[in-house]
Amino acid sequence: MKREKKIQVETLSIIILVTLIITVGIIIFNTLTNKRKIENFSKEAELIVGASKNAYIAFSKENLDFLATSTDGTTKAMCITIDGLEKNNFIDQDLSDWDGYVIIEMTEKTTYKIWLTNKKYTVTNLDANDLDKLKLDDNLKVYDNDKLSESVEVSFESAKKYQSACINKKIEPAKVEQPVEEQQQPTE
């Protein structure tokens, strides 16, 4: 009888130990998986910021109306959505699950603010330099049906107000008028 109780206690101890090991394993696995998802979000966001920098350089060479001056006239900025980046061939990856935009502001130093979601996570008004510091419930939130690019259709704001639309369509290069050369008369 004592022997049966000892076997039952040992069996119960083994079951409890195995359950604890499995539980700890699941917790570690979930933690690592979430960390990897956040790292992937950060890398994709860095790609979007890089494409936005390239767009700013390209569009500023064109001197387009999409480069806005703040209402107080002190700074220049540009806002571009993910759709705008795709339609202007600055990114070629499939970002159909992504929504958002980047504001590039030229003050004494250039800043890049992002509002992005991949329908799993969302960042709002985050300085692009802080992408490597993403932490859930700190500067990274769980997706909650956020529609980010719709909020900047007419004008966009950073520290200052800009009266310009966010680039959300294909921008055709500006046509430069070439001087008409005098027509030469054929010689006979």
Number of domains in the chain: 1
Q: Cα(81)–Cα(115) distance, rounded to whole angstroms? A: 9
CA 164 to chain centre: 20
Residue 64's pLDDT band, with cuts at 50, 70 and 90, is low
C-alpha neighbours within 13 Å on the C-beta side of residue 61: 6
SS3 assignment, position 121: strand
Domain of residue 49 covers 31-162
Report if residue 2 sits inside a domain. no
Residues 135-173 pLDDT 10s: 887 788 888 886 776 666 545 665 567 667 788 888 876
Residues 85-99 pLDDT 10s: 999 999 988 888 898
**In the predicted model, is pLDDT for residue 183 greater than 50?**
no
The mean of the pLDDT values for the chain is: 80
Kindly provide the b/e burial profile for residues 60-86, where b requires at least 16 CB atoms within 10 angstroms of the residue's own CB.
eeeebebbbebeeeebbbbbbbbbbbb
- pTM summary value: 0.73
pLDDT of res. 155: 54
